[in-house]
Amino acid sequence: MLGGKAGAGLISLVYLVIAARALGPHDYGILVLVHAYVTAICGIVEFPAWQAIVRYGAEARQEGASHRLARLLRFGAKVELAGGVAAIIAAMLLAPWVGPHLGWPPETMAFAIPYSFAVLGSVRSTPAGYLQLIDRFDLIGLHNMVQPLVRLCGASLALLFGWGLKGFLAAWLLAAIAEFAVLWGMGLICAYTRLGAVLIRPQAGNVASENAGIWRFLVASNADVTLAELAGRLAPLIVGWVMGPAVAGLFAVAQRATVIISQPAQILGNTAYAELAGMVASGQGGAPLRRTLVRVILIAIAAALPVVILAALFPTMMVTLLAGSAFQAAGAVMVVLIIARVIALVGPPCSSALSAMGYPALSMSANLFASLIFLPALPWLLGSFGLMGAGIQAVGQALIASLLLGGLAWHRSLSQ
């Protein structure tokens, strides 16, 4: 998975270079704001089921209950796809009101409604959860390459034929649809290979009764994921709303350069969740779980260190290489965002540990507390400190969230 994500990260830098240089700060900012808008709506409305699939699926596998597992998978797919449809409709309905505040030109407004189908790029957690459950991380690693490869091909064509902003938006939309289709295809093939006709027609049963507390777990885990990612998804929109598309473009370049730092922690947190859930299900929590948690955090920090050192020493040079001289002003805020990303590396593994132990509500509470303190302050920080205010907000929120999540995960593991 790390190999697949590393490859995806390198490819994403290439299409970033193409898009930023072809569009410039203003139009690149529009591209970022349209995609960030859809992603934010999706993050709030969607209902991913992967944590429930992994947690309750681990119990079903230990029992050898294939029919229970098939019912769980079908349930997760229905819940998630219904949430995806709701997110698409919400994105379409709100676009005409939100777009003018974000500085979208008329031609972008016309494309914003069909672009709402980019929501599908995030509606894929059920197959991802099942692939984690059966240890097919190789397939998840390959899938990580799908979106950046499609974006790269689309961006290259848009540059070659001079299709402008609309061409890049079309490329980003096709990449999201491909991301959705490929992972669902992988998950369905693997599930049918292992479960056969049981997947299509499982015996009658009640998912809620045979997976005690699944609805409560789903609501809490989804609220946790939403709140954990809310600041990152809303920050570009708030910057664009307050300071305009061009500044949003600068912020997006600075943020993109730091995403590479956070990806190892997010991947390892998601990947370790399956292992942690299995440990808890088999009664091996406590000290073994803490050792695994510390190991995951240290690996995430080690994986991020090369990028941290380069970006901290040569921020302006990195931004110029990535996006061109028009984006040089993003160098200073990138350094502060890097500090925030390093602090935040603790969060995803600790959230996974809390969910594996059956306490997703604690993780949700920690992320909610950090978001409520710092996210509402972002407009004021932008007004007072300019773009650097976004970096200050990111550092404060990362520090509070990491301290809370780390303390809660460690404390709860003592009782396992």
Residue 211's CB is within 10 A of a number of other CB atoms, namely 22
List, in order, residues 6 or more apart from 2 with CB less than 8 Å away.
141, 264, 267, 268, 303
Name the residue among 138, 126, 415, 409 with its Cα closest to residue 276.
409
**Burial class of residue 67, CB neighbours in 10 A (0-12, 13-18, 19+):** middle
Q: Which long-range contacts (CB under 8 A, 24 or more apart) does 386-390 make?
A: 386/243, 387/239, 387/243, 387/247, 387/250, 387/251, 387/329, 387/330, 387/333, 388/332, 388/333, 388/336, 390/235, 390/239, 390/251, 390/333, 390/337
Tell me which of 218 and 85 has the higher pLDDT: 85
- The Cα–Cα gap between 401 and 224 comes to 12
Mean pLDDT value of segment 366-380: 85
pLDDT at 56: 86
- The Cα–Cα gap between 134 and 127 comes to 11
Q: How far is CA 293 from the centre of its chain?
A: 20
Tally the C-alpha atoms within 13 A of residue 69's C-alpha that lie toward its C-beta.
Answer: 25
pLDDT exceeds cutoff 60 at 264 = no
Tell me which of 212 and 238 has the higher pLDDT: 238
Name the residue among 40, 176, 29, 170 with its Cα closest to residue 112.
170
pLDDT at 361: 76
Report the greatest alpha carbon distance in the chain: 63
pTM of the entire predicted model: 0.81
> Are the C-beta atoms of 347 and 267 separated by less than 8 Å?
no
pLDDT at 353: 82
Helices and strands in the chain: count of H runs, count of E runs: 19, 0
> Are the C-beta atoms of 79 and 129 separated by less than 8 Å?
no
pLDDT exceeds cutoff 60 at 35 = yes
Q: pLDDT per residue over 287-320, tens digit each?
A: 788 888 888 888 877 877 777 788 778 888 888 8
Which letter does DSSP use for residue 135 in this model? T
pLDDT exceeds cutoff 80 at 194 = yes
- The Cα–Cα gap between 321 and 340 comes to 22
First and final CA of the chain: distance in angstroms? 29
Q: Where are the beta strands (DSSP E) in 19-160?
A: none
Name the residue among 348, 283, 278, 289 with its Cα closest to residue 133.
278
Q: pLDDT per residue over 91-103, tens digit each?
A: 999 999 999 999 9
Please, which pLDDT band fits residue 157 given cuts at 50, 70 and 90?
Answer: very high
Q: At what angle do helices 245-281 and 125-133 cross, to 10 degrees?
A: 40
pLDDT exceeds cutoff 70 at 183 = yes
Distances (CA, A) of 114 to 30, 108, 174, 310, 400: 16, 11, 11, 39, 38
The amino acid at residue 364 is M
SS3 209: helix
- Between 30-39, 162-171, 346-355, 382-391, the lowest mean confidence (pLDDT) is in 346-355
> Are the C-beta atoms of 105 and 55 separated by less than 8 Å?
no
pLDDT exceeds cutoff 70 at 1 = no
Q: Which two tokens stand for residue 24?
A: 């410039």
